[in-house]
Structure 1
Amino acid sequence: MDWNNITHIFFDLDHTLWDFERNSALAFRDIFEKHEIELDLEAFQKIYKPINFKYWELYRNNSVSKEALRYGRLKDSFDSLQFEATDATINLLAEDYIHYLPNNNHLLEGSLEVLDYLFPKYQLHIITNGFEEVQQRKMKSSGIWPYFSTITTSEEAGVKKPHPQIFEKALSKSRALPAESVMIGDNLEADIIGAHQFGLRTIFLNSEKEQPAVEFPQIQKLKELRNYL
């Protein structure tokens, strides 16, 4: 496949460039300490990770609101661990989590190196389902903000990936054509299939070594992007 006509690269943010799992664990460590929540962090993270994933799927499909996601993922995690917390405490923790999360700035292995490599050659962009007020803070605190020409969030577009309208919005902002664009992300449905159906090339960051149902170009580490771009 010829990649020479690519001029625009669209990245997902969480789990693709920004190390969500590591930064999330640090945020919970800080807020549990602040509010004297006596839970083993490792045990909590083990329960929280799949519950959070489930809620993001529901949010992507418009089955829960942003507020319900923020409350429900904590409530369900505490219930699973048989940890009693009032609604007021859960809402306070949910609010503090969003505040603390962008304070941590760990990126996935190779993120800065690959951005340094791509930046002189391509226009770089972000398309994210994450919340508007948090994503920009994440990018600024982690130092990757200057690399990107445009950032398109689902709240701005009014729809979430994989809806075609968010890709239409992102390409319109960037003045890019689908045929000269590639989408890189870790979520097969939202990032890869969604972008592919809108006419973009795609590269699946298969860091969890999942077996995709459809064959797309895929990498396990960001540094492997050099094989394509």
Structure 2
Amino acid sequence: MVLSGVKAVFFDLDNTLIDTAGANERAVQEVISLLKNAYQYNEEEGQFLCERYHAKLLLESFDPSTVNIDDLRILHWEEAIEETRHSATCKNMAAECYYLWKSTRLQHLKLTEETRCLLTDLRKIAKLLLLTNGEKHVQWEKIEACACRSYFDAIVVGGEHREEKPSPSIFRYCCDLLGVQPQDCVMVGDNLDTDIQGGLNAGLKATIWVNKAAPVGRKENLVPLPDFTIHSVLDLPNILT
């Protein structure tokens, strides 16, 4: 065991335990097919429209107590359609794009059998907690879609709290929830700015960065600097067991 004395492992959800990026791409392809077959878009127009929608998701900021997330994202599609063809759009078309995108994405958000086995084995040696940022309704839909509740001792959705990752407060909340100290916990996630920086801010025992792209071992220019880098959560046993 590279790390000893670990009492709890905090996992990120998106692109750590589930392939959200891959599910998004499948959803986009379904929407482009709809646009081509039902609305006479060509491939380039369809791709541009979906890129405009994705850009709006990245900039999304709203008060969930006053705005329904589904209505907001239908509006994103309306605006993206108008920006693509520079003309007024039909709300029904925007809603059709949104619900196709949403349902397709959720359909492909799954825990692999290997990941399920990993979580089952790790839970024999440590408490497991799922810590995910994002709007609560959206994140709980993902959690239900991938059927992961039973693999964790606790689940914390950042959108239900005053502060999200990388704030130390949400990590302290997670520690209190499990009855452990920060120095007994590790954070596993794909995002340097939220998962790794958050673990460092909270004084966790270690941070483990899931990076599918860069060669493991390359640490130059990484800010913040994780304690460990792995290609997949399936590599965790090399560190924790």
Structure 1 residues 85 and 226, CA gap change in structure 2 (3 angstroms): farther
Answer yes or no: is the 8 Å Cα contact 1:47–1:80 preserved in 2: no
Quote the residue 1:195 is aligned against.
Answer: 199
Structure 2 unpaired stretches of 5+: 216-220
Instruction: Quote the Cα distance in structure 2 between the aligned partners of 1:209 and 1:69.
Output: 35
> Where does the alignment leave 5 or more consecutive residues of structure 1 unmatched?
none
Measured after TM superposition, the shift of residue 92 of structure 1 is 5.6
The partner residue of 1:104 within 85, 105, 108 is 108
Residue 209 (str. 1) matches residue 214 (str. 2): yes
Alignment-mate amino acid for residue 151 of structure 1: I
Q: Is the 8 A contact 1:11 1:124 kept in 2?
A: yes
Render the CA deviation track for 1:92-116: whole Å, top value 9, x for unaligned: 6445544553233334694224213
Residue number in structure 2 paired with 1:174: 178
Percentage identity across paired residues of the two chains: 25
In the other structure, the counterpart of 1:151 is 155
Matched AA of 1:207: K
Deviations for 1:105-155, whole angstroms, at most 9, x for unmatched residues?
334694224213312111111111133223333233323221011111112
Q: Does 1:142 align with 2:146?
A: yes
Please say which structure displays the higher CA radius of gyration. Answer: 2
Instruction: Please give the residue correspondences for 1:6-17 in structure 2 after superposition, counting only pairs within 5 Å.
Output: 6-17=6-17
Native 8 Å contact 1:157 1:165 kept in 2: no
TM-score by length of 2: 0.73
Q: RMSD of aligned C-alpha atoms? A: 3.7
Contact preservation (8 Å) 2:17, 2:115: yes
| Alignment deviations for residues 166-215 of structure 1 (CA, whole Å, 9 cap, x no partner) | 22222222222101111100000111011211111210111132862343
CA distance in structure 2 between the aligned counterparts of 1:69 and 1:161, rounded to whole angstroms: 23
Match of 1:86 in 2: 89
For 1:145 and 1:39, locate their aligned partners in 2 and report how far apart those are by CA, in whole Å: 41
Q: Is contact 1:110–1:222 with CA below 8 Å preserved after alignment?
A: no
CA distance, structure 2, for counterparts of residue 175 and residue 121 of structure 1: 15
